[in-house]
Amino acid sequence: MTASLNKGISVLKEMIDAPMASYFSSCVHCGLCAEACLFYTETGDPKYTPIYKLEPLRRVYKQEYTLLGRLGKMLGLSKPVTDEELEEWKPLVYDSCTMCGRCSLVCPVGNDIVYMVRKLREGMAISGHAPEGLIGASKRAVEIGSPMGVKLPAVKAQMKHVQQDTGIEIPLDVVGAEYMVLMSSMEIINFPEYLAAVAKIMKQAGKSWTLCSEAFEATNSGIQIGVSDIAKVLVQRIVDGAEKLKVKTVISPECGHAYTALRWEGPNLVGRPYSFEVLHILEVLDGFRNAGLLKTTGFEEAKLTFHDPCQLVRRGGVIEEPRRLLNLVAKDYVETSDPGKMNWCCGGGGGVSAIEEAEELRFTAFKVKKTQLEQTGAKTLVTACANCRIVLEEGLEHYKMDIPVVGLTETIAAHLVEGE
């Protein structure tokens, strides 16, 4: 056994806690999780059954923590997990799992399969079986501060660009601001309209806000690759920035997993409660709407539909907020099939879009989204995750479907009453 494999197996053993043990022992092999996974439904290949993706972890559980398994191991009757096997499983654990959580939701015995995949990734990464794309992203996140290599000068350049575009000054490092706005690298690089939209909305709402030069990045590749130590460093950076600026609320941007990482996993990662609140931008906007601080005018002309980012609806319960916001600006709105908590993933979450080898499979999995969109007849697709947005655009382009994809925050900002 190599040293890295030994470490990986040790980590897997550590990962098997009480919930995990109960999940493995209560699985009834019903196969419902397969029907909930877009990689299985769109390929028909049983290897993409979510619970099957956990096979190496199940074997470690059985061999280490069950009586029969331990006896089998002592007598040399059970097959140990090998490097070759983990390498073979890499595409199942990373390329074909977006950690969307649909499988967890349908499991009749309540197994949180995403939680299990997340734990398996810890052992995979430590044993050297994580995809190159995610390894590179994680290194950049720790060393540079962004998984995509964005440095502060690039942020400042975008701030200046947005100031020119909107005529609104973008605040940086303002101590005592009410809100600290985070961005994903995707928004800094590809979607400057997000920051412009936030600036316009905050101005109209009369709220104080700031970016933080030491913590502008929201994403957390530690969560995606499955290394809690990295995830902790990245969360801590945000906590330090927020506490230094003494803000009341940190706003997670239009990015699905950043929200999960910061809001739901973050306090456990850093080992203490936050001194501030964490909200997704849609929760903040809906709060503004409820308080009468969002004054919009006019309606979108095109027929709209909404793609629910998995991490928002299934992990975070942010379901009605986007719909209430869309109701401000959409007269002709249509839901896809399975909207809200049962929405189908775009196919690129959980780090999949960073894995080049996964591209072909991702396009195959996108067929479910394609069908959903064709059924609606929608002319514009709105979403609230920058990664979903690009994955959707690529999928639509791949299948020659001419449907523009836009962010919800910028859609709202485009309808603000000017001068308010």
Partner 1 sequence: MNISNDNEFKAALGKLAGVRQRQIAALFAESVLALCTDHRLKAAIDSAKRVDATKDELAAAFQSAKAVSVDSYTQCGHDCNWNKQASHFVAEAVLACFRPGDTSAWDAAMHARMARTCEGIANGEGTDNTETAVQYRILAELLNS
Which span (39-47, 95-103, 163-171, 269-277) binds partner 1, by CB under 8 A? 163-171
Q: Which tokens hold the place of 23?
A: 């999940």
| Dihedral sign, Cα of residue 64, residue 67, residue 70, residue 76 | negative
State which of residues 7, 62, 70, 140 lies at the interface with partner 1 (CB under 8 A): 140
Judged by beta carbon, residue 50 or residue 351, the one nearer partner 1 is 351
Site pattern 182..201 for partner 1 (x: CB under 8 A):
--xxx--xx-x---------
Which span (81-89, 153-161, 168-176, 315-323) binds partner 1, by CB under 8 A? 153-161
What is the per-residue DSSP string for 63-98? HHHSHHHHHHHHTT-SPPP-HHHHHHHHIIIIIT--
From residue 298, alpha-carbon distances to 193, 204, 270, 302, 335 in Å are 20, 16, 45, 12, 21
Residues that contact partner 1, how many (by CB under 8 A):
39
Judged by beta carbon, residue 335 or residue 393, the one nearer partner 1 is 393
Q: Which tokens hold the place of 361?
A: 């499979």
Judged by beta carbon, residue 86 or residue 148, the one nearer partner 1 is 148
C-alpha 386/C-alpha 71 separation (Å) is: 50
DSSP 175: T
State which of residues 59, 161, 244, 341 lies at the interface with partner 1 (CB under 8 A): 161
Name residue 217's amino acid. Answer: E
Judged by beta carbon, residue 265 or residue 394, the one nearer partner 1 is 394
Give min distance, CB of 224 to partner 1, in A: 8
390 forms part of the interface with partner 1 (CB under 8 A)? yes
Note whether 192 and 413 are within 8 A (CB).
no
Q: How many CB atoms lie within 10 A of CB 55?
A: 17
Q: How many CB atoms lie within 10 A of CB 147?
A: 28
Closest residue by Cα to residue 211 from 260, 158, 272:
158
Give min distance, CB of 52 to partner 1, in A: 26
**Radius of gyration of the chain measured on its C-alpha atoms:** 22
**Chain-centre distance for alpha carbon 356:** 18
Judged by beta carbon, residue 13 or residue 139, the one nearer partner 1 is 139
Closest residue by Cα to residue 119 from 63, 38, 183, 60:
60
Residues 62-89 as b or e (16 or more Cβ within 10 Å = b) = bbeeeeebeeebeeeebeebeeeebeeb
From residue 410, alpha-carbon distances to 311, 335, 382, 406 in Å are 20, 20, 10, 7
Judged by beta carbon, residue 58 or residue 307, the one nearer partner 1 is 307
Give min distance, CB of 419 to partner 1, in A: 15
172 forms part of the interface with partner 1 (CB under 8 A)? no
Which span (5-13, 76-84, 157-165, 168-176) binds partner 1, by CB under 8 A? 157-165
Give min distance, CB of 387 to partner 1, in A: 4
Phi, psi of 32 (to 5 degrees): -60, -30
Using CB under 8 A as the binding rule, the residues of this chain from 350 to 369 that contact partner 1 are: 351, 353-354
Judged by beta carbon, residue 123 or residue 348, the one nearer partner 1 is 348
State which of residues 167, 176, 298, 317 lies at the interface with partner 1 (CB under 8 A): 167
Site pattern 97..136 for partner 1 (x: CB under 8 A):
------------------------------------xx-x
Note whether 223 and 349 are within 8 A (CB).
no
393 forms part of the interface with partner 1 (CB under 8 A)? yes
Judged by beta carbon, residue 339 or residue 349, the one nearer partner 1 is 349
Give min distance, CB of 189 to partner 1, in A: 5
Angle at 61 between CA 56 and CA 64, to 5 degrees: 120
Q: Which tokens hold the place of 335?
A: 């839901």
154 forms part of the interface with partner 1 (CB under 8 A)? yes
Note whether 240 and 212 are within 8 A (CB).
no
Which span (14-22, 96-104, 156-164, 370-378) binds partner 1, by CB under 8 A? 156-164
State which of residues 97, 124, 130, 150 lies at the interface with partner 1 (CB under 8 A): 150
Q: Which residues bind partner 1 (CB under 8 A)?
A: 133-134, 136-137, 140, 147-150, 153-154, 156-158, 160-161, 164-165, 167, 184-186, 189-190, 192, 219, 221, 224, 348, 351, 353-354, 386-387, 390, 393-394, 397, 402
